[in-house]
Amino acid sequence: MNDEQIRRHFQAIRRRIARLQQHDAEDWQEIDAALEDLQIIYEEMQSRLETAEIVEQGLMQQTQQMSNAYSHYHELFQASPIPYLVTDTDGIILEANSAIAQLLEVPQRYLIEKPLILYIAPGDRSSFYLKLDRLPQTNGIQVWQMHLRSRANELFAVELHIDTLKGDSGTIERLAIGIYQLSPVQQLAKTFPPQTIPQSLDGLRVLVVDDEADARDFISAVLELHGIAVKAVASAADALEAIEKFSPDVLVSDIRMPGEDGYTLIRKIRALEALKGGHLRAGAITAYCDENREKALSAGFEAHLNKLAEPSQLIEMVSQLAGLP
C-alpha cells in the first residue's frame, strides 16, 4: 500500500466516523484522537525509513569505495616489479605476486599455502625460524639478509623487508614481505663492511682486466670498498687503451681470456715500457688451480693470486704491488 492509498483509507475512515459521531460524539472523539496518534506514528516511521535509506546508501557507497580501493591495491600488489609475499606468523604463504613467482621459478598459484621455508637456503633456515620467533619483540620494519633457493636449485642473496600486520587485539596476524635481490657488489658490501680506510689506499688507481663481468664487478667492489679508484675492462686491447687514459698505479689481470690472454697482455705492456720507459706493477689472478705461478712471474707479472682467495688477500697483494704498507 503506497502513501496515497493510505491517505485515502484514512479519509474514508474519517467520513465513516463523522457519520457515527452523530450517535455518540464523546466516544468518537477518543477514537479520533487515537487515529491522530496513529497518523503521527506513521509519519515518524516514514521519516525513520527515509533516514535508514540514506544511511544504507552511504554504507553501500563506503563498501563500494573500500572494494575499489582493495582491487586497486591488489592490482598494484600483483603488478609490482618487486617480489612480494604475505604470510601468516608461521611463514605460510597467503598471497604472492607474479614477481616472486618468477624469481623462484614456480607457478604463482603453487606458492599459496606453502611454507616460505621451502624456498629459504638450508643454511639459513635455522636463522629464519629464530628471527620469526623474535618478531613479537621487535618494532618497525625488519630487514633480514638471507639466501633463497629457486626451483632450479639456484641460490641468490636477498634482503627480506618484513612489516608486521596486527589485528584489533594488537597481536601480529600477518607478515608483509618485500624481497630485494642483492647484486654481487651489494652482497659484498654487506658481508665485508669497509673498516677505516688507510690513507695509503685512498685514491690508489687500479686497472682490472677480466672477460667475466661478475668477476670484474666483484674485484672492483672489493677494491672500491677500500678507497681505491678502479677502471675495469674486458679485454687486453681495452686494457692497453685504458693504460694510456687512466694511468693506473697497479694492474690486476685475469690470465685466461679469449683472444689475447693475460700473458700476452703483460708481455705487450713490458715491451712498450722498454721503449717509452716507466713500469706498471702487475698482479695475475686466475680461477684455475693448475696455473703456474712461476710462468706468470716470468711473463712479467710481479704477483699471482687465485680468484678464490679472501678479499683481504687481494687488498694485501695490491698494497704490496703499489709499494704501500
In a domain, 209, yes or no: yes
> Which residues neighbour 96 within 8 Å (Cβ) at sequence distance 6 or greater?
84, 85, 86, 108, 111, 112
Which of 182, 206, 237 is the C-terminal boundary of a domain?
Answer: 182
- In a shared domain, residues 313 and 200: yes
Lowest mean pLDDT among 46-60, 67-81, 169-183, 215-229: 67-81
- In a shared domain, residues 205 and 251: yes
Task: Locate 222 and state its grid cell.
Answer: 672489493
Angle (CA) 154 159 160, round 5°? 105
In the predicted structure, residue 196 carries a pLDDT above the cut 50: no
> Which residues neighbour 134 within 8 Å (Cβ) at sequence distance 6 or greater?
none
Are 164 and 172 in contact by the 8 Å Cβ rule? The answer is yes
- In a shared domain, residues 205 and 248: yes
Torsion angle of C-alpha atoms 208, 213, 219, 224, degrees rounded to 10: 80
Which of 158, 182, 206 is the C-terminal boundary of a domain?
Answer: 182
Task: Locate 19 and state its grid cell.
Answer: 457519520
- In a shared domain, residues 88 and 129: yes
Q: How confident is the model at residue 45 (pLDDT cuts 50, 70, 90)?
A: confident
Q: What is the pLDDT of residues 135-168, one digit of tens each?
A: 888 778 888 888 898 888 888 888 899 988 888 8
- In a shared domain, residues 71 and 92: no
In a domain, 278, yes or no: yes
Residue 10 and residue 157: Cα distance in Å, rounded? 82
Residue 71 and residue 106: Cα distance in Å, rounded? 24
Q: What is the pLDDT of residues 84-127, one digit of tens each?
A: 899 999 999 998 888 899 889 999 889 999 999 999 988 888 88
- In a shared domain, residues 263 and 306: yes
Task: Locate 257 and state its grid cell.
Answer: 681470456
Residue 17 and residue 167: Cα distance in Å, rounded? 63
Q: Give the percent of the chain with pLDDT over 70.
A: 79
Q: Could you give phi then psi for residue 93, rounded to 5 degrees?
A: -75, 125
- In a shared domain, residues 199 and 316: yes
- If phi > 0 it is left, if psi is from -120 to 50 it is alpha, else beta; for residue 170 that is left
Torsion angle of C-alpha atoms 298, 303, 307, 310, degrees rounded to 10: 160
Which of 76, 107, 132 is the C-terminal boundary of a domain?
Answer: 76
In the predicted structure, residue 285 carries a pLDDT above the cut 50: yes
Domain that holds residue 172: 81-182
In the predicted structure, residue 290 carries a pLDDT above the cut 80: no
Look up cell 677505516; give the residue.
196
- In a shared domain, residues 231 and 113: no
In a domain, 85, yes or no: yes
pTM above 0.85, yes or no: no
- In a shared domain, residues 316 and 205: yes
In a domain, 219, yes or no: yes
Domains identified in the chain, total number: 3
Three-class HEC string of 229-271: EEEEECCHHHHHHHHHHHCCCEEEEECCCCCCCHHHHHHHHHH
Mean predicted lDDT score pLDDT of the chain: 81
In a domain, 188, yes or no: no
- In a shared domain, residues 167 and 224: no
Which CATH number does the domain housing residue 260 bear?
3.40.50.2300
As a whole number of angstroms, the longest Cα–Cα distance in the chain is 142
Number of H helices, E strands in the chain: 11, 10
